């Protein structure tokens, strides 16, 4: 594992942490009497590289560089367009970073940034302890899963822009069987969601894996699409699957459907997932499964719900509530935001961008793609007029504290019966902004037993779909005998609460 290096002054990120990590690694190797050739090395690549030695004077291709690199090495990329129609899979614990001598904002601009245009499985991280730093990754339409896909634990994304373009793809997907990940000052954007954490059927682990999401901007959805696209979706399936997600200074938005939430936590088949948020900006959250939870600080003002007031490039405007509103980071993996602005300790923004008064307009995140690459520009840029509202609503939404008398109406629920699980869906109409909580019970041995719970936050009056997933045990009970489900829906706001109850009977199946 790479030694931890904290950068506390605006020294260059690479001459600081990467070089120091290499020096420490070399010292450790020497102490162990391993030949010097085993020390970590810098390997250079460029978009038109043909060199055989992968040196700074004669860089090689990215594929050649990642093939040559061994665990602990750093592959340094020159700015440019790297077109990889079949994607790129990394099988060793290396660092993939922009050359330290090339400075400027990280954006989808090949004059300042290495931009990887990846198809297939995207940029796939298939070894532990892979670091990706100061690059942009764009998933081509053929990359239907994600732009960046971390399959192994302890991955780190630092100052990275990841944008998917396929209709159901997410910007960043983290689904390791073991270990967690750290994502810092990074933007993840995709038509199918911003960032997805999916831990399924994991082996038994002594410690629950933790995913640290620090100063991230997670944006789901594209213009003119009603595909449900949460900003963050965290899912756990299986008895040993128990991810812990820590949100610090995160800006999160889900768009594309009136039913989508910014933050979603789902626990299925005995899995459990805990999302803990602090000093972040999102409007809605939803929980599905009795072992799923989204925990917020007691001081509600630490979670912003208002319009973030950002421009079309995700940067905060001068009147943005995101400015200097963040808390301290658990891990200071970088001293710079995604535009390479220095961020002083104790003065963090919310989201991936620091506000700099009087700074020149930031570059657009998505200039024209390279020749021969066809992508939908609308999947790369924020849609015009998209100000962070949910489901096409107006900026800011209703004030949850306005005190409108709560009313709730729930239609008769419907059931979707699968091979391993059962999902009950209800259309619920409410009178104001607030929280919808649904509980489903069955009678067993003369008492009511809760088989699922779901929570959905709403920002205005209207009708929402609430989905409550009954896990494997409940599905097995339906195989044995007919079931009578009592669905109790409660809506609460500042003025009080209202409840509606419906019953659904299902025959044995």
| 3-class DSSP string for 323-390 | CCCCCCCCCCCCCECCCCCECCCCCCCCCCCCCCCCCCCCCCCCCCCCCCCCCCHHHCCCCCCCCCCC
Distance CA 318, CA 315 (A): 10
Strand partners, 463: 429
Under 8 Å between Cβ of 147 and 123? yes
Q: What is the pTM of this model?
A: 0.73
Whether residue 13 has pLDDT greater than 60: no
Q: What percent of the chain has pLDDT over 70?
A: 82
Q: Are residues 280 and 429 in the same domain?
A: no
Q: Which of 28-37, 241-250, 360-369, 411-420 has maximum average pLDDT?
A: 241-250
- The predicted structure's pLDDT at residue 301: 60
| pLDDT of amino acid 369 | 77
The C-alpha atoms of residue 97 and residue 149 are separated, in whole angstroms, by: 17
pLDDT of residue 387: 44
Do residue 328 and residue 440 come from a single domain? no
The percentage of the chain sitting over the pLDDT mark of 90, rounded to a whole number, equals 40
pLDDT: is 353 or 202 the higher one? 353
Instruction: Give 200's contacts (C-beta < 8 A, 6+ positions apart).
Output: 175, 235, 236, 237, 238, 241, 271
Looking at the fold, whether 226 and 367 belong to one and the same domain comes out as yes
8 pLDDT higher than 50: no
CA–CA gap between residue 227 and residue 420 (Å, rounded): 25
- Read off the CATH number of the domain in which 412 is found: 2.60.40.10
* Judgement on whether residues 418 and 368 belong to the same structural domain of the protein: no
Domain shared by 304 and 341, yes or no: yes
Confidence of residue 359 (pLDDT cuts 50, 70, 90): low
**Of residues 301 and 272, more confidently modeled:** 272
216 and 308 within one domain: yes
Instruction: Count each helix (H run) and each strand (E run) in the chain, helices first.
Output: 4, 33
Note whether residue 235 is domain-resident.
Answer: yes
74: in domain: no
Residues 105 and 221 in one domain: yes
Kindly indicate the confidence band of residue 419, based on its pLDDT and cuts at 50, 70 and 90. confident
Domain contains 172: yes
| Average pLDDT value for residue range 168-174 | 94
Looking at the domain assignment, is residue 400 inside a domain? no
Q: Mapped to the 3 state alphabet, what secondary structure does 13-48 carry?
A: HHHHHHHHHHHHHHHHHHHCCCCHHHCCCEEEECCC
Note the pLDDT of residue 90: 96
Please check whether residues 354 and 206 belong to one and the same domain: yes
- Residue 397 pLDDT more than 60? no
Residue 1 has pLDDT above 70, yes or no: no
Q: What average pLDDT does this structure show over 434-450?
A: 81
| In the predicted structure, residue 291 carries a pLDDT above the cut 60 | yes
Total structural domains in the chain?
Answer: 3
Q: Measure the CA–CA gap between 143 and 135, rounded to whole angstroms.
A: 18
Give the position of tokens 């020294």: 11
Which residues make beta-bridge pairs with 195? 172, 232
Work out the pLDDT band at 494, boundaries 50, 70, 90: low
| 229 lies in some domain | yes
Question: How confident is the model at residue 51, as a pLDDT?
Answer: 80
**What does DSSP assign to residue 83?**
E
Give the max Cα distance, the chain: 79
> Are 261 and 370 in a shared domain?
yes
353, 244: one domain? yes
375 lies in the same domain as 417: no
Query: Quick one: pLDDT band at residue 4, thresholds 50, 70, 90?
Result: very low
The predicted pLDDT at position 389 comes to 37
pLDDT at 337: 93
What pLDDT sits at residue 40? 75
Determine the distance from the C-alpha atom of residue 304 to the mean position of all C-alpha atoms in its chain, rounded to a whole number: 18
* Predicted local distance difference test score (pLDDT) of residue 224: 53
Angstrom distance (rounded) from CA 505 to CA 484: 4
In the predicted structure, residue 354 carries a pLDDT above the cut 70: yes
**Cβ pair 165, 379 in contact under 8 A:** yes
Q: How high is the pLDDT of residue 395?
A: 31
Q: Which domain holds residue 479?
A: 408-506
- Average pLDDT over every residue of 130-150: 94
129 vs 20, higher pLDDT? 129
| Size of the chain in residues | 509
**In contact, 291 and 271? CB cutoff 8 Å:** yes
Question: Residue 360: what pLDDT?
Answer: 58
**Which residue is it, tokens 């019970």?**
441
pLDDT digits (tens, 9 = 90+) for 177-196: 788 999 999 999 998 999 99
Distances (CA, A) of 191 to 45, 106, 163, 219, 257: 30, 21, 9, 9, 12
Tell me what pLDDT residue 244 has.
94
Chain centroid to Cα 49, Å, comes to 33
Q: What is the pLDDT of residues 192-226, one digit of tens each?
A: 999 999 998 778 777 889 999 999 999 998 655 56
Mean pLDDT of 103-120: 89
Tell me, yes or no, whether 244 lies in a domain: yes
441 with 486, same domain: the answer is yes
The dihedral built from the CA positions of residue 139, 247, 153 and 46, taken in this order, carries a sign that is positive
Residue 370 lies in a domain: yes
Q: pLDDT by residue (tens digit) across 250-271? A: 999 987 656 678 999 999 888 8
| Tens-digit pLDDT profile for residues 318-345 | 889 999 999 988 888 888 999 889 898 8
Q: Report the run of H or E that residue 162 belongs to, with start and end.
A: strand 161-164
Lowest mean pLDDT among 5-14, 235-244, 447-456: 5-14
Q: Does 149 reside within a domain? A: yes
Residue-level pLDDT at 441? 86
Report how far residue 457's alpha carbon sits from residue 437's, in angstroms, rounded to the nearest whole number. Answer: 9
The string of pLDDT tens digits covering residues 57-105 is 999 999 999 999 999 999 999 999 999 999 999 999 999 999 977 778 8
User: At 15, is the pLDDT very low, low, confident or very high (cuts 50, 70, 90)?
Assistant: very low
């Amino acid at each position: 594992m790479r030694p931890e290096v904290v950068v506390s002054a605006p020294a260059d990120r690479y001459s600081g942490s990467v070089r120091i990590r290499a020096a420490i690694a070399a010292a450790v190797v020497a102490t162990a009497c391993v030949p010097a050739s085993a020390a970590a090395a810098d390997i250079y690549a460029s978009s038109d590289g043909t060199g055989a030695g992968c040196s700074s004077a004669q860089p090689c291709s990215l594929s050649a560089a990642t093939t040559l690199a061994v665990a602990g090495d750093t592959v340094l990329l020159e700015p440019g367009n790297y077109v990889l129609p079949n994607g790129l899979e990394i099988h060793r614990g290396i660092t993939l970073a922009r050359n330290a001598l090339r400075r400027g904002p990280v954006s989808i601009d090949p004059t300042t940034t290495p931009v990887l245009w990846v198809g297939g499985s995207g940029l796939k991280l298939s070894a532990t302890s892979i670091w990706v730093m100061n690059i942009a990754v764009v998933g081509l339409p053929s990359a239907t899963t994600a732009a960046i896909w971390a399959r192994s634990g302890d991955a780190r994304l630092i100052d990275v822009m990841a944008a998917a373009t396929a209709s159901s793809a997410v910007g960043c997907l983290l689904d390791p069987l073991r270990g967690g990940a750290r994502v810092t000052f990074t933007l993840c954007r995709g038509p199918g969601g911003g960032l997805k954490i999916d831990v399924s059927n994991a082996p038994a682990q002594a410690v629950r894996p933790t995913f640290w999401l620090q100063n991230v901007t997670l944006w789901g959805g594209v213009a003119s699409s009603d595909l449900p696209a949460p900003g963050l979706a965290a899912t756990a399936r299986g008895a040993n699957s128990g991810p812990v997600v820590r949100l610090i200074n995160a800006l999160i938005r889900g768009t594309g459907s009136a039913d989508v939430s910014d933050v979603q936590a789902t626990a299925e088949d005995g899995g459990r997932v805990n999302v803990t948020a602090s000093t972040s900006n999102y409007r809605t959250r939803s929980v599905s499964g009795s072992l799923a939870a989204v925990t917020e600080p007691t001081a509600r003002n630490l979670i912003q719900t208002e319009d973030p007031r950002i421009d079309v490039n995700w940067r905060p405007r001068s009147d943005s509530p995101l400015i200097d509103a963040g808390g301290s980071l658990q891990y200071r993996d970088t001293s710079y935001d995604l535009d390479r602005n220095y961020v002083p300790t104790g003065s963090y923004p919310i989201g991936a961008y620091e506000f700099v008064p009087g700074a020149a307009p930031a570059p657009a995140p998505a200039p024209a793609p390279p020749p021969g690459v066809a992508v939908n520009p609308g999947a790369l840029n924020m849609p015009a007029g998209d100000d962070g509202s949910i489901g096409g609503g107006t900026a800011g939404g209703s004030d949850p504290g306005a005190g409108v008398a709560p009313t709730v109406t729930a239609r008769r629920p419907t059931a979707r019966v699968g091979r391993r699980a059962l999902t009950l869906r209800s259309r619920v109409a409410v009178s104001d902004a607030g929280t919808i909580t649904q509980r489903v019970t069955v009678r067993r041995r003369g008492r009511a037993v809760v088989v699922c719970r779901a929570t959905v936050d709403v920002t205005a009056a209207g009708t929402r779909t609430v989905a409550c997933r009954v896990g494997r045990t409940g599905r097995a009970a339906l195989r044995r005998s007919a079931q009578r489900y009592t669905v109790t829906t409660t809506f609460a706001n500042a003025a009080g609460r209202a409840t509606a109850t419906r019953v659904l009977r299902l025959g044995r199946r």
